[in-house]
């Protein structure tokens, strides 16, 4: 597994397709809803299967403030789940957040992802928002030492 920043059209196409398939399509959202206005200001990361070139997972990170980075859109393809892909992406996000000067990393975690983040050092702060009227999110935070 290799963690890269997508740079080519093909890499971004794979990246956004995974984001859509995992985080929007199950809730019947339209294609295009996986893209955000501030995507150009974020650092995007993707895990690639070095044997096949296939995307395994992806996410993005950006600075919210001078000292706080936010992780968004962490998704791992179904056949790569429970194989440490999410953990490796999270480690890469933490490195990038530190490089950007962040002292803390926050995430708005979906209900089913809370334990993943807790196992990786995040503390749950509060329920934040309900996406698509049904997907509860929780703000979680991790100090970056």
- pLDDT at residue number 136: 84
- pLDDT at residue number 127: 85
Give the bridge partners for 131, in sequence order: 135
Q: How many domains does the chain have?
A: 1
- pLDDT at residue number 122: 97
- pLDDT at residue number 99: 95
Per-residue pLDDT of the chain (145 residues; tens, 9 = 90+): 999 999 999 999 999 999 999 999 998 999 999 999 999 999 999 999 999 999 999 999 999 999 999 999 999 999 999 999 999 999 999 999 999 999 999 999 988 899 999 999 999 998 887 787 777 899 999 999 8
- pLDDT at residue number 142: 98
Expressed as residue numbers, the domain containing 55 is: 2-143
CATH code of the domain in which 97 resides: 3.40.630.30
Q: State how far the Cα of 125 lies from the Cα of 30, in Å rounded to an integer.
A: 31
């Amino acid at each position: 597994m290799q963690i890269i920043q997508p740079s080519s059209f093909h890499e971004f196409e794979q990246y956004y397709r995974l984001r859509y398939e995992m985080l929007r399509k199950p809730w019947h959202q339209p294609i295009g809803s996986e893209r955000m206005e501030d995507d150009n200001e974020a650092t995007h990361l993707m895990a690639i299967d070095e044997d096949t070139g296939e995307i395994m997972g992806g996410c993005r990170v950006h600075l919210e403030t001078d000292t706080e980075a936010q992780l968004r859109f962490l998704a791992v393809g179904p056949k790569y789940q429970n194989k440490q892909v999410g953990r490796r992406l999270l480690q890469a996000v933490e490195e990038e957040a530190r490089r950007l000067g962040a002292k803390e990393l926050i995430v708005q975690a979906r209900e089913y992802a809370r334990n993943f983040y807790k196992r990786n050092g995040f503390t749950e702060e509060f329920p934040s928002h309900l996406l698509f009227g049904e997907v509860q999110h929780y703000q979680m935070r991790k100090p970056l030492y």
